[in-house]
Amino acid sequence: MGKTQLGVIFGSRSCEREVAIISAVQLMNHVDSEKYDVIPVYISEQGVWYTGSALRKIETFRHFSPDVPGVEQVELDMTAGSGALLATRPGKGLFGHPSRVMVARLEVCVVVMHGLNGEDGTLQGMLELANLPYTSTGVAGSAIGMDKIMMKQFFRGAGLPVLPGAWFTRSRWETAREQVLDEAEAQLGYPVFVKPANLGSSIGVSRADDREGLADSLDLAFDYDRRVLVEKGLDRPIELNCSVLGYDNEVEASPIEMPISAEKFLDFKEKYLASGGSKGMASLHRVLPAPIPDELRDEIQQLSCDIFRMLDCKGVVRIDYMWDRATDNVYITEINTIPGSLAFYLWENAGVKYQTLIDRMVRCAQRAHEDKNSRNYAFTSDILKSVSLGAKGAKGAKGAKGVKL
């Protein structure tokens, strides 16, 4: 059997593009080269697709230029099941015609995207149309997991523990600032956390302790998104994160980490720049496994597996929690359907090497793809043979006859 052609798709038009580049290069360094040929697929800030061996090196992205050797612009053939990456090469000589060439054929896609245009169900939808196996959660689960407002409503509807919140649109904020402040204050009091609906990595997230601070936080969050969540704040909660890996009936929770923050909350700097930024989420200060009671660990692992199933997740996700020591309550902060560094360090702690984690993610992608294609698409009826759109259609056609094109 030949090697599997493993497309690693990363980058994209997202505020978290750089984090995704680090996660992807890290992942490509750990792929088992006996089993897979890695095909890097980088989507640039402008939404242009590239492939080539230079995209496996982090240096290429310091000042990315499409002209560096070993990088070529490509497009994915969207024909269902094709997986072809096509490049247009200039013709030879003065009168040579440019030619379309297939530079690779993707068999399985590992999606390493954080944020919009990649983690949010859009790329997943494209891969569903292209009928290619891919490693992340599907369209609906990815979309709900990305949108903090919908996610909260989903969890609340499922009876799961989330903090109270209120949400507002930019147009309302622009036209009724005082009303918005009144509503948020009346419903939630202080402190609150203000978050753009569709972002991650703490970008645009801030804490407000009074009305003036809330106005500033809303201004900041609305710079990033049209919809903003205001959430009741906890005072220095203990943060606990748990990864879940699998698909369908095979679901497993990782050990739990406790990220440590020196600030009031974990901001972008702490998440990624804690030790020079070279390791992505793996560089964060943390205690692993978290020093928490066994019952709490079991509860969080069980809850994480339940959430994974509810959102029909696939591959590896990370679900974050806040433990309020004052009340001993645990709340879900969010789900990351494509976590920073693919949460490999949590699996390593459970004795699963990164290489094996990638194998398992690929297997999940293949199983989901097999399930999808074993659905009965063959259902046919004879309606097209017998249908006639009658007089209306015919009239339209008649009318069209007289029109000169």
Ligand X SMILES: Nc1ncnc2c1ncn2[C@@H]1O[C@H](COP(=O)(O)OP(=O)(O)O)[C@@H](O)[C@H]1O
Strand partners, 105: 84
Which of 146, 230, 320, 368 binds ligand X (CB under 6 A)? It is: 320
Q: Which stretch binds ligand X (CB under 6 A): 46-54, 233-241, 248-256, 380-388?
A: 233-241
If DSSP states are collapsed to H, E and C, what string results for 234-251? CCCCEEEEEEEEEECCEE
Which of 60, 135, 283, 333 binds ligand X (CB under 6 A)? It is: 333
Looking only at Cα atoms, what is the longest distance across the chain? 81
Q: Which is nearer to ligand X, 60 or 217 (CB)?
A: 217
Contact call for residue 237 and ligand X (CB under 6 A): yes
Which of 239, 286, 337, 340 binds ligand X (CB under 6 A)? It is: 239
Distance CA 330, CA 239 (A): 10
Instruction: Count CA within 13 A, CB hemisphere, residue 296.
Output: 21
Q: Which is nearer to ligand X, 9 or 192 (CB)?
A: 192
Helix (H) or strand (E) holding 215: helix 211-224
Q: How far is the CB of 195 from ligand X (least distance, A)?
A: 5
Contact call for residue 52 and ligand X (CB under 6 A): no
Identity of the residue numbered 196: P
Q: Which is nearer to ligand X, 57 or 207 (CB)?
A: 207
Q: Which is nearer to ligand X, 325 or 398 (CB)?
A: 325
Starting at the earlier edge strand, list the strands of the sheet with 99-105.
Answer: 75-76, 84-89, 99-105
The structure tokens listed for 221 are 């969050």
Contact call for residue 202 and ligand X (CB under 6 A): yes
Q: Which stretch binds ligand X (CB under 6 A): 54-62, 98-106, 195-203, 350-358?
A: 195-203
For ligand X, how many residues bind (rule: CB under 6 A)? 19
Question: Is the Cβ–Cβ distance between 117 and 12 less than 8 Å?
Answer: yes
Give Cβ neighbours of residue 140 (< 8 Å, ≥ 6 apart): 121, 311, 312
Q: Which is nearer to ligand X, 8 or 229 (CB)?
A: 229
Q: Which is nearer to ligand X, 8 or 19 (CB)?
A: 19
Q: How far is the CB of 404 from ligand X (least distance, A)?
A: 58
Contact call for residue 181 and ligand X (CB under 6 A): no
Q: How far is the CB of 309 from ligand X (least distance, A)?
A: 22
Q: Which is nearer to ligand X, 318 or 360 (CB)?
A: 318
Question: Judging by DSSP bridges, how do beta strands 192-196 and 206-208 pair with one another?
Answer: antiparallel
The structure tokens listed for 192 are 């609150």
Q: Which residue is nearest to ligand X (CB)?
A: 265
Tokens 């995207």 belong to 113
Which of 51, 60, 124, 201 binds ligand X (CB under 6 A)? It is: 201
Contact call for residue 270 and ligand X (CB under 6 A): no
Contact call for residue 334 and ligand X (CB under 6 A): yes
Question: Is the Cβ–Cβ distance between 37 and 5 less than 8 Å?
Answer: yes
Q: How many CB atoms lie within 10 A of CB 142?
A: 28
Q: Taking each helix axis as running N to C, give the angle between helix 139-146 and helix 122-129, from 0 to 180 degrees, rounded to the nearest 10.
A: 170
Contact call for residue 195 and ligand X (CB under 6 A): yes
Give 84-92 contacts, CB < 8 A, sequence gap 24+: 85/7, 85/39, 85/41, 85/49, 85/51, 87/51
Q: Which residues bind ligand X (CB under 6 A)?
A: 163, 193, 195, 199-202, 205, 231, 233-234, 237, 239, 265-266, 320, 322, 333-334
